[in-house]
A and B are shown apart, each in its own frame.
Chain A
Amino acid sequence: MYVAVKGGERAIEAAHDWLAEERRGDPAVPELTLEQIREQMTLAVNRVMAEGSLYDPDLAALAIKQARGDLIEAIFLLRAYRTTLPRLGVSIPVDTGAMRCDRRVSATFKDVPGGQVLGPTFDYTHRLLDFALAAEGEAPRARQAEPRQEPTPRVTEFLNKDGLIQDEVRTEDTPPDMTRQPMEYPAGRALRLQALTRGDEGFVLGMAYSTQRGYGRTHPFVGELRIGAVEVEMEIPELGFAICIGEVTLTECETVNQFSGSRTEPPQFTRGYGLVFGQTERKAISMALVDRSLRWQELGEENTGAPAQDEEFVLAHADNIQGTGFLEHIKLPHYVDFQSELELVRRMRADAMTAKDPAT
């Protein structure tokens, strides 16, 4: 018989003390500041904000430091903090058409108005380790040219003028919020986009990649990818008007996909959409591919049984905090559960032995 026990407090305290010491590392090396993480580990900060579903670069930097650079642990910390915040309101939907673009490229039109603006990209770097960064040097300075004053037009607008691409019909419906109501299936596109934008980058990338390799193929082109700052506006009831409450950096990806038409729709291009906090283009492109793949039913396409066409499979497994919680709990004490399994296996073995050798 197994007797329930208590204990471990002293061991846990000692483990946490040691964790704190290991987090600090060699005391002869200067301690990282939150400003250093925020300014120099920016893309890690962006990922933690996107998947933590909370835009606050200082908090994300703190979470990364506390988590010793384990980004999923940092996302967990940010999510936990988020749940303590009272909801002050909802923003007016952000106008990404008015984005002040750091980067804006189109893989479909070379001479798009506004041009191909590369921005601070890793693309076209040689992916060779740069040993110069191992030494301290002067802060580099970017080149400048005469800036564009007017907003950059959307690439899909050009296709839309000819009716060659499926229209996105503007509505003012209140979207469902997975942080307030449990997920229900079928989820609908608004809920899918919310789940995907906070989903695990690796998972969403894997799903998107599976569609490229033939599991629910959607023939995507990156119609447009843009990264930059947008203003966030909110209606303030006590004032009776809307004000800008801040500015965030977002990454937006629109894919243009082939579509052969259906009984109700003429042949035209269709779209997948990705919008993610921060400079996070791998995630935004992945999100757009998975969004498009999950729209098979709405567009009257065939369900080939591909994982990326299965809304419940994708959305129920995209969240790395849910996933890590359920996965990692199995390392915690399961002594009682296991004791019962052990007894069961012993009994089954004894029965099997008896059946094999009835003489004994």
Chain B
Amino acid sequence: MSGTETETAARQGWMGLLARAPAARLAALMAGRALPGFDWLRVPETGGVMLRGRTGGTGAPFNLGEMTVTRCTLRLASGETGHAHVMGRDRAHAERAALVDALMAGPRAAEIRAEVLEVLAAEEAARRHERAAKAAATKVEFFTMVRGE
């Protein structure tokens, strides 16, 4: 993987994490943090994204239905741009996600990674683990009835 590809993969990782994060949790992690001023390149806008599935899960695409998504793009006074596409209609969530994205391109990346992204990632992993553990508890253990005894 080239340097650019690694950077892209890392950015895809945190952008997805921010989109999936509970809006209130992201807000709490950003609260009390000194945030830089910025200009909007695209103000937060809510719209619909058409989800697609595939026939049989693997075949030809078809339209499944839409979901609400809010997007925005901003530029920090120091020049870095941040972008967000997040599920739902919460403009503040999109703004915070774009701010984090922009801060990750600048000198505060280490602070944001440790105090916001890694916290969100750990919490998401814990949520997913708990759900998978509950599913595992409902897995059927078959046993064989021995005949003729």
Contacts and interface: CB of A to CB of B under 8 A. Distances in A.
A325 B65 CA distance: 21
B39 interface: no
B4 to A, nearest CB: 10
Contact of B61 (A53, A117, A190): A190
A180 to B, nearest CB: 9
A94 B85 contact: no
Contacts of B73: 238
Given A115-B140, A190-B61, A85 B66 contact: yes
Interface residues of B, number: 53
Nearest to A102: B135
Contacts of B66: 53-55, 82, 85, 87, 179
Interface in B121-140: 128-140
Contact of B46 (A85, A177, A198, A254): A85
Contacts of A179: 50, 63, 66
28 contacts: A53-B66, A85-B66, A87-B49, A87-B66, A90-B52, A91-B49, A100-B128, A102-B131, A102-B134, A116-B139, A117-B136, A117-B138, A144-B130, A147-B129, A168-B57, A170-B59, A170-B60, A175-B61, A179-B66, A193-B55, A231-B16, A231-B20, A232-B87, A238-B83, A241-B12, A244-B12, A244-B16, A245-B87
Interface of A: 49-50, 53-56, 58-59, 82, 85-94, 96-97, 100-103, 110-111, 115-121, 142-149, 154, 156, 168-179, 189-191, 193-194, 197-198, 229, 231-234, 236, 238-239, 241-248, 250, 252, 254, 271, 273, 275, 277
Interface of B: 8, 12, 15-16, 19-20, 45-69, 71, 73, 83, 85-89, 128-140, 142
